[in-house]
Amino acid sequence: MEEKLQLKSQVCFPIYSLSREIINRYRPFLDELDITYPQYLVLMVLWENEVQTVNQIGEKLNLDSGTLTPLLKRLEAKELIHRCRRRSDERVVEITLTEKASSLKSKAVLVPEKVVNDIGLTSEDLEDLKRIVTKILNKTKNLP
Amino acid sequence: MEEKLQLKSQVCFPIYSLSREIINRYRPFLDELDITYPQYLVLMVLWENEVQTVNQIGEKLNLDSGTLTPLLKRLEAKELIHRCRRRSDERVVEITLTEKASSLKSKAVLVPEKVVNDIGLTSEDLEDLKRIVTKILNKTKNLP
DNA sequence: CACAATTATATTGCGCACAATTTTATTTTC
DNA sequence: GAAAATAAAATTGTGCGCAATATAATTGTG
């Protein structure tokens, strides 16, 4: 019993730790852009496709409206996005990037590389990590 | 530029997603014990060693008093721990497990296995994941 | 066309995380 | 031994994450 309950034997604790650790490493670089990590994720989704609904963003990030609505309002307050209800269906809120956000992209693109260098990750580490994590994430996608 | 900013090319997003996904998979089992995942982590630290200071717990989980103080108060309210200032140094708060918490251990020990089965992880997946994640976490430990 | 069912977002409430500051206790230094 | 420095928790404030519920618009059905 003892052995199974040790932190080092756990599945989730190392992943939970690493997730927080990497986000903390992102922080100083994202501070310069005056955005948080989850805000950065939302902008990345929008940089790939400049107009998207709240739902579409949520599906890509696995976040619901309880998380996204206030986050998007903060991005709007920073003048990085516009929120506008769709004319043809007023239930839908369409999110569009502002000029300010578009011009942030060139700085944002440099951040991940800085973090990787900061931590000293090799491309082999990255490939190994991404391979196994993605494999497991795919397993969970077909579950209830 | 486009390529580097795609979610699938990111280091952190898959880890951040997987961390949340696994914690969500823990939830139904931990709900039965009436505790959250971070509370479960704190209890695990204490099951390994029944008396510890707030600082000692924080070092093992990489959490500060801003997170731990309210969390510990909630565990105290659930009567799973006692919080008591050390006689010889009143700055220190010592956390001890209650009988109730000790008897929870036999149920708690079964949870990780249930989650692993739930997701359908093989022992090979687990080994691969733990090896690479721990390797990267160790790299970060020697950084500023 | 009314009315029930569905859909999209918003709101509320709770529990983390984490930075910054404060409080209280102890140790160090003069 | 008093003042300064250090140390341990607590507090405050902000921003997620997520469950549960509410609101409002649209669609489906008789």
Domains of chain B (ranges; CATH) run: 19-141 (1.10.10.10)
- Determine the protein residue whose CA lies at the shortest distance from the C1' of C13: A66
Smallest CA–C1' separation from A36, nucleotide: D15
Q: Is the C-beta of residue B88 closer than 7 Å to nucleic acid chain C?
A: yes
Per-residue pLDDT reduced to its tens digit, A64-123: 999 999 999 999 999 999 999 999 999 999 999 999 999 999 999 999 999 999 999 998
Specify whether the CB–CB gap between A50 and A97 falls below 8 A: yes
Across chain A, what does the average pLDDT equal? 93
Name which of A12, A63, A70 is nearest A41 in CA terms. A63
Beta strand A51-53 with A89-97: parallel, antiparallel or unpaired? antiparallel
What pLDDT is stored for residue A143 in this prediction?
Answer: 78
- Determine the protein residue whose CA lies at the shortest distance from the C1' of D18: A66
d(CA B41, CA B64): 14
What pLDDT is stored for residue A10 in this prediction?
Answer: 80
d(CA B114, CA B30): 11
Residues on chain B touching A119 (C-beta within 8 angstroms) = 136, 139-140, 143
Q: Is the C-beta of residue B88 closer than 7 Å to nucleic acid chain D?
A: no
State the distance between the two ends of chain B, measured CA to CA, in whole angstroms: 29
Q: Is the C-beta of residue A68 closer than 7 Å to nucleic acid chain C?
A: yes
Name which of A85, A82, A110 is nearest A97 in CA terms. A82
More confident residue, B9 or B101: B101
- How many other CB atoms are found less than 10 A from the CB of residue B90? 8
Name which of A113, A40, A29 is nearest B4 in CA terms. A113
Residues on chain A touching B133 (C-beta within 8 angstroms) = 14-15, 18, 129
What pLDDT is stored for residue A66 in this prediction?
Answer: 98
Specify whether the CB–CB gap between B104 and B43 falls below 8 A: yes
Distance from CA of A141 to the nearest CA of B (A): 10
* Helices and strands (H and E) in chain B: how many: 7, 3
